[in-house]
């Protein structure tokens, strides 16, 4: 059997650390409120869509996405289960 150790001391130490963290959090919050600042900003979201003139295709069996020039399909090797991810404007009928 191993000795019990100082369980009560460890519990008090963890409680003191938690109190210190909470106090630091309250301090930061009041400093932000006094200065009128808000939390960290996320910044501008990057554009994650396909570039102009490129179509993105997804193959579930391969588990990957490929980019090809607009108006073309990826290689037709089996299995041919490519799904177009890019939003494409429907072609206007000739007048």
Task: Give per-residue pLDDT as tens, 3-33.
Answer: 666 677 888 899 999 999 999 999 988 988 8
d(Cα 41, Cα 37) in Å, to the nearest integer?
Answer: 11
Under DSSP, is residue 95 helix (H, G, I), strand (E, B) or coil? coil
Instruction: Encode pLDDT of 35-70 as tens digits.
Output: 876 666 667 777 776 678 888 999 999 888 888 998
Q: What is the 3-state secondary structure (H, E, C) of 46-62?
A: CCCCCCCCEEEEEECCC
DSSP state at residue 63: T
Instruction: Answer yes or no: is pLDDT of 93 > 60.
Output: no
Give the pLDDT confidence score for residue 86 in this predicted structure.
83
């Amino acid at each position: 059997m191993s000795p019990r150790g100082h369980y009560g001391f460890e519990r008090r130490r963890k409680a003191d650390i938690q109190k210190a963290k909470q106090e630091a959090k309250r301090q930061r919050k009041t400093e932000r409120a006094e200065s009128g600042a808000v939390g960290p900003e996320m910044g501008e979201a990057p554009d994650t869509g396909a570039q102009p003139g490129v179509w993105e295709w997804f193959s579930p069996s391969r588990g990957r996405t490929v980019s090809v020039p607009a108006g073309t399909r990826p290689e037709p090797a089996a299995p041919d289960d490519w799904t177009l991810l890019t939003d494409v404007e429907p072609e206007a009928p000739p007048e």
